[in-house]
Every structure is written in C-alpha cells, then in structure tokens.
Amino acid sequence: MSGPGRSARLVELVGSTRLGEVFRRKVRQRRWGVTLVTLCVAAIGLWLFSDISGSTGWSPVKVLELVVFSVLFTTLAFGFTQAFVGFLVLAEGHEPLKITNTLDENTPLASTAVVMPIFNEDVATVFGNIRTLYRSLQKRGELETFEFYILSDSTQPEKLVEEELAWADLCRQTNGFGRIHYRRRKVPVNRKSGNIADFCRRWGHRHRYMVVLDADSIMTGESVASLVRLMEVNPRAGIIQTMPKLVGSETVFGRIQQFASRLYSPLFAAGLNYWQQGAGNYWGHNAILRMSPFLTSCTLPVLPGREPLGGRILSHDFVEAALMRDAGWEVWFAYDLEGSYEGLPPNLTEYIKRDRRWAQGNLQHVWFLLADRVQPISRLHLIQGILAYSSAPILVLFVCLAGIQAALDHFRGHASSIPLPSAIVLALLTLLLLFGPKLLSVLHLFAQPDLLRRFGGAKRAIAGVAMETFFSVLTAPLLVWFHTRFVLRNLSGQKVVWNTQTRGGGSGPRWIETLREYWPVPVAGVICGILAWWISPMYLLWITPLLLGLWLAIPIAQISGRSAVLRRLFQTPEEIEPPRELSKAEPFQLRTGDQFVHAILDPFYNAIHVALQRRRAVRAPELNEHPEDLANKLFEGGPTALTAEEKRALLSDGPTLAKLHILVWRTPAEKMNPFWAEALRAYRNEPPVTVQT
C-alpha cells in the first residue's frame, strides 16, 4: 500500500482493537531496533576503548575511565542512532506512524485557551505575538472557540503599567475585549508552573484544551487550529508538542543556532518520533494540553528536601509529561506540523544564563528516576534531560582520569605501546557519531533542491555548516565549563535566581562584562595546557580541541553577541522567505519612556490602570506609609523618591492614583517638583492615535 493510502487506512482504523495491537507491536519493534543499534555502536566503542586501555594492563583509574566512557559513548551513540533513523524516515518520504496523519481539516474546533505566562518580558514582543496569532485565526474564520490569556508574574512597576495598556490597546485594535484576557498575580508563587496552575484553578473548567506559549512563541492560526483538531480526533492524546523553529535572531550566535536547529533538528525530530510515538515529551510551550487530565493528574508534587535539588519543581514540563503518561494519556510529538516558531537568547552569555536555570530544573528530575509510577520511556526522557547538563562534569571527570592515566603511562614509559589501529578506528567512530548527523542533514538538504535554495543555495549552505561546526567546536568546551560549574553548585546547595530571560536581538555584551564573566575560563585553560604539556606534548595535542575553546572564551563570547556580521551566511528558509505571520509580526507601538510616570500623567494609562484596580489595595505590612503619603512623597520628590516596592504599593491603589493624576495636571509649574513640569511638556501636540485594523 502506498504512503497516503496507508495513513488513510490508519485513520480509518482508529479505535479498533486490532489497530491497537498492530500499533503496539510496531512501536515495540521500533524501540527494540533503536536500542539494539545504540547498544551495538556503544559496544564497538567500548571494545575499542578497552583494547586501547587494556594494552598496558588494567588499573582502578582505567576501570573508572571505562565506566565513564561507557556513559558518554552510549549517550553519543543514542543521539547518532536517533538522527540516522530520522534520516531514513525522511528519506523514505512517508512515516505511517505520526500523529499528523490523523489530521482532518473538517473536524470541528473546541473551546481552547491560548495561555502565555510572562515575567518582566518585552511587552511589545509579547502582545505583538499574541496579535499575530489572533489575526491569523481571525483571517481563517476560526476565532470563535479561542480565548487568549496573558498571565503576568511581572514585578517591575513599569512593566505592570505597560502590560495593562498593551492589553487594552490589543483589545481595542482587534476588538478583542472579552476574548483577550490579562491577569497579573501579585505574588508569583512557584514561578511559571505556579502561574499556569493558578490559571487552571481559576479558569480551567472554561476550556477543553490549553495551548501554552512562551513570551517569544509565535504560532500561526493554522497550526493552533490543527493542534485542536488533532486533539479532537485522538481522544487518548493528553499533550501534543510541536517542533518550534527558531526565528528572529540578529546576532552571530542567534543566527548560528537558528541555522543549525533548522538544518539538523528535522532528523532528530523524525528519529525521536520514530521510537517514542505516544510516549513523548513536553517542552513547556508551543504545545496543546487536554485540560481535564491536566487538572486531575498533572499537578506538580513538592519534592523531598529543599532547593536547589528538592522543594518546588523548577522545570515542570518533563514532569508534567511523565505525570500525564502515568495517568494513562498519550503524549505526542507533531514534529512536522508547520507554523510553530520561537525566539532564542541573543548571545552566549544569555544562553548560558538560561542553561543555569534549566540545569537546576533538570537535576531535580533525579527524584523522579527514583519515584513510583513513572513509565520507563518517561524515565528515559528524564535521564536525557539530566544528562544534557550532568554529562559535562562526567566529561570533565573523563578528561581528568585520562590525564592521570596519561601521566602514569608517560612516567612508566607505556605511552608508545598503545595499539594504534584501535585508537584510529575509535577516533574515526567518535567523529562519525559527533558529526554524522550533520553530514546526514546536509545529504537530506541536497535531496530537496527547493529547500536548498531557501537555505541560500549549495555554497552558502556548505559554508554555513562548516562555520557552524567550527563555532560549535569552540563553544562546546565553554558550555562544558559552565555546565560543570552549574551542576557542582547545585550539588553544593546553591540555587539559581529567577531572572527575566533576555530575548531577541538586544545589544551585544560589553567587553567589561564579558571579562568579568569569563576571565577564569582562559586562565583554567592555560593551567590545563601547562599540565598537559608537563605530562606529555602528545597529550596536549590530544586535548587541544578542548582547550582551544577555553583559551578563546572571551573573544568568542564577544563575537557571539555581534549583529551585522556574517549576514550572508546561516540563512534559513524563514529568513529568506518569511511566512506571512512572521513578516507581519511587527512590534507593538507603545509610549516610550518611564512607564511608571505614564501611569501618573498619561490620561489613558492612568484611567486603564485605575479602572482595572477593583478594590482598594490592602496596605503592604512591610510598608510604613499609606498610599496617600506615598503619593505626596512622589509628587514632592519625583519618581526617584520612591522605591520599587513603594511604587508597586502605590500602583495597587487606584483612587489615590486617579487623584494624583488630576493633582499633577492642575498644579502650576512653579508649585511642583520640576520633574513633573518637564514631564508634562512631553504631552504637547500628542499625535492622533493610529489604530491598525
């Protein structure tokens, strides 16, 4: 039976017991296949390594080295196998077992909440992205069943005011009052997962599904509607995760990541879906969740012990997927569903900062490996998440053990007795596992001339791959350095601070900041180099690829944040031919300047903010002053007279703020703080508002 015929047959058979059996057998075969290939590749590597190590006799250092090597090499082999399987799936051109085969455009839509939790984010980007999705659904005539929730945990007084006006502006522009909602939590308990849980508690029963977006997520109306339809025709699906494409980067680092992800991830994604099927994972955004099992089964437990490794769960997504699976629901990966995008950190420093949060979150998942009622595939996902960061200290341990062994061999005169053929084959095998997926991705790209053109053509694509490979070789040791630090810090009880993630272009890091952040890295690299030279010049040569990234850490970090460099390289289809939703994702036009001052002076900011404060605020116990006193202090001393906490307290008191607005406007310039007189002049000849429709 041909490909489309097979998928039609699959749809036809949904629900029949026979299909269930066939499906389960097929999935079992696939999982065994991937496991066997992984283990075979890993076994070859282990055999070669033990041949090399054992040639001069065994020692405790060597045994430990072999154990560590087996963990690292098996991880590498698994990644390669997944990419290889993905390559075969994509080369064949048809995958009968993927959830998007069941998509039927005639399926009616159901009530869906689109939620976007935010925390001191760039307001124009957040509301611009929501507007893009809103209009996209509107254009398709499919808006009726959707409601939008912007769930703010923002704490900066300026952001609170800006978000409120942006919400009102968005509703006014789109006629979205009653459909686009904005809620701010005064106390951001349990961060993003707490924010979502709070939404579920308040409005969980209003909707059948929930599409979760990140602040930098952009989804098209078509993709969101398709997710709802997929949920409707797959009643056992609890979560469907899409594969967001990285877009919108302007910096060298961002564009390299964007290019690499766009080129290499389709193979990994197809391979991942091949073996995981309905036992997939959830990445926290650009996904749809079924409300009822999410409410009953996915509430996060509190872990034993305290943070960083215990307490409240930081990375909730993997755990929620595991809980959903445990409750008997399927978690699918719609890897080929178009129209799902996200942004990424603009430079290496911001990327590393994000990794610091994720590292702690993923390390907490160790508890779930030891918990009752976690499905084996969910445990595997959790292990992969943990290894994403803990493999760095394991690699460092391996290099240290190799260094110790090299020193011992050198001083005993055993260095020259290493079996060269095994060493060469192992080196080639390792290179194949590391770079094979890139090579397969390039082969896959060259098999699709239209896609190749949208990557800028053959020459640029090849040059891009070469440069990206060079860059990743340089940055990998840096990431190993930082990941090792994060893991060790977490193990020693230090926890991370929840900072706002810098997204989008941004201005690159300053030299002084880069020096302050990175100076230990080249110093450690030089010390390691001297030690390696002392052991043996050959050993230094062997670990030079690792040390090179450490030596050049500061310039790499600097260059990573530059824009307008290598613009003709790293082009992606979304950059060359942006989809309509991306090209129209223009930012929101909001008033520039101090948003807190606008809350006092701007008649609309003030009115909307005051209108949204329903009750008179209860005075914060830690504040000694009443809102009226704070208003007087602000009037007399200007905005610098108040702390951020005092500003928040004043903002929560609508009537006082409304009085202050009138007071400032009716007071002659000579009778008030010069700041206000100057600020009022900014409103002169205010241009008429232009509303996009």
Partner 1 sequence: MAISPEYLGLLRASINSSPEWKQAWERTNDYLDALRIPADLERELLLLSSFERAIARKRKEPSTPATELAFDEAQKALDATLADLISEKVPADRRSVEERVRVYLMQPTQSSVLSPGNRLSNDVLAALREVRLEAVPRLQQAAITPRPFALNSAGERLASLAGKFSLLGSNRILAWIVGLCLVGLLIYISL
Comparing CB distances to partner 1, the nearer of 26 and 202 is: 202
Comparing CB distances to partner 1, the nearer of 37 and 658 is: 658
Comparing CB distances to partner 1, the nearer of 204 and 505 is: 204
- Chain positions 179 to 218 lying near partner 1, rule: CB under 8 A, are 181-183, 197, 200-206
Q: How far is the CB of 472 from partner 1 (least distance, A)?
A: 31
Token pair recorded at residue 689: 């508002």
Using alpha carbons, select from 277, 13, 223, 235 the residue that is nearest to residue 105: 223
Residue of 446, 470, 533, 604 that binds partner 1 (CB under 8 A): 604
- Among all chains, which residue has been given the structure tokens 């009530």? 111
State yes or no: residue 615 binds partner 1 (CB under 8 A): no
Q: How far is the CB of 140 from partner 1 (least distance, A)?
A: 23
Contact stretch for partner 1 (CB under 8 A) within 21-29, 133-141, 176-184, 245-253: 176-184
State yes or no: residue 167 binds partner 1 (CB under 8 A): yes
Residue of 303, 324, 331, 402 that binds partner 1 (CB under 8 A): 303
Residue window 396-425: x/- pattern of binding to partner 1, with contact defined by CB under 8 A = ----x---xx--x-----------------
Residue of 126, 287, 323, 478 that binds partner 1 (CB under 8 A): 323
- Residues 6 or more apart in contact with residue 524 via CB below 8 angstroms: 481, 550
3-state class (DSSP) for residue 228 = helix
- For 182, the enclosing helix (H) or strand (E) is strand 180-184
State yes or no: residue 662 binds partner 1 (CB under 8 A): yes
Comparing CB distances to partner 1, the nearer of 511 and 683 is: 683
State yes or no: residue 300 binds partner 1 (CB under 8 A): yes
State yes or no: residue 5 binds partner 1 (CB under 8 A): no
Token pair recorded at residue 582: 């991306």
State yes or no: residue 520 binds partner 1 (CB under 8 A): no
- Given a contact cutoff of 8 angstroms between Cβ atoms, the answer to whether 142 and 225 are in contact is yes
State yes or no: residue 612 binds partner 1 (CB under 8 A): yes
State yes or no: residue 178 binds partner 1 (CB under 8 A): yes
CA distance 213 to 284: 8
Residue of 370, 497, 512, 618 that binds partner 1 (CB under 8 A): 370
Token pair recorded at residue 316: 């909730």
CA distance 589 to 597: 18
- Among all chains, which residue has been given the structure tokens 């066997």? 36
Q: How far is the CB of 498 from partner 1 (least distance, A)?
A: 20
Contact stretch for partner 1 (CB under 8 A) within 264-272, 362-370, 471-479, 544-552: 362-370
Q: How far is the CB of 204 from partner 1 (least distance, A)?
A: 4
- Residues 6 or more apart in contact with residue 4 via CB below 8 angstroms: 94
Q: How far is residue 287 from each of residues 179, 293, 582, 640, measured CA to CA in Å? A: 20, 15, 19, 43
Pairing of β 245-246 and β 218-219: unpaired
Is the torsion defined by CA of 82, 88, 91, 97 positive or negative?
A: negative
CA distance 85 to 273: 10
Comparing CB distances to partner 1, the nearer of 181 and 262 is: 181
- Chain positions 129 to 148 lying near partner 1, rule: CB under 8 A, are 147
- Chain positions 53 to 72 lying near partner 1, rule: CB under 8 A, are 59-62, 64
Residue of 373, 567, 580, 626 that binds partner 1 (CB under 8 A): 373
Contact stretch for partner 1 (CB under 8 A) within 134-142, 413-421, 541-549, 666-674: 666-674
State yes or no: residue 681 binds partner 1 (CB under 8 A): yes
State yes or no: residue 686 binds partner 1 (CB under 8 A): yes
Number of shown-chain residues binding partner 1 (CB under 8 A): 76
State yes or no: residue 678 binds partner 1 (CB under 8 A): no
Q: How far is residue 549 from each of residues 69, 359, 476, 525, measured CA to CA in Å? A: 22, 21, 7, 8
- Say whether the peptide bond before residue 308 is cis (omega within 30 degrees of 0): yes
Q: How far is residue 372 from each of residues 327, 328, 369, measured CA to CA in Å? A: 13, 15, 9
Contact stretch for partner 1 (CB under 8 A) within 220-228, 259-267, 615-623, 664-672: 664-672
Comparing CB distances to partner 1, the nearer of 99 and 309 is: 309
> DSSP readout, 646-691?
HHHHHHT-HHHHHHHHHHHHHS-GGGS-HHHHHHHHTTTTPPPP--
- Chain positions 527 to 586 lying near partner 1, rule: CB under 8 A, are none
- Chain positions 470 to 509 lying near partner 1, rule: CB under 8 A, are 491-493
Roughly how many angstroms between the first and final C-alpha of the chain, as a whole number? 49
Q: How far is residue 441 from each of residues 9, 75, 255, 265, 649, measured CA to CA in Å? A: 31, 20, 18, 8, 55
Q: How far is the CB of 362 from partner 1 (least distance, A)?
A: 17
Comparing CB distances to partner 1, the nearer of 354 and 489 is: 489
Residue of 296, 416, 592, 640 that binds partner 1 (CB under 8 A): 296
Q: How far is the CB of 178 from partner 1 (least distance, A)?
A: 8
- Given a contact cutoff of 8 angstroms between Cβ atoms, the answer to whether 463 and 568 are in contact is no
Q: How far is the CB of 592 from partner 1 (least distance, A)?
A: 15
Token pair recorded at residue 526: 């030089």
Q: How far is the CB of 272 from partner 1 (least distance, A)?
A: 27
Q: How far is the CB of 491 from partner 1 (least distance, A)?
A: 6
Q: How far is residue 597 from each of residues 82, 133, 154, 371, 591, measured CA to CA in Å? A: 54, 31, 17, 51, 11
CA distance 411 to 257: 44
Q: How far is the CB of 285 from partner 1 (least distance, A)?
A: 20
State yes or no: residue 108 binds partner 1 (CB under 8 A): no
CA distance 353 to 479: 11
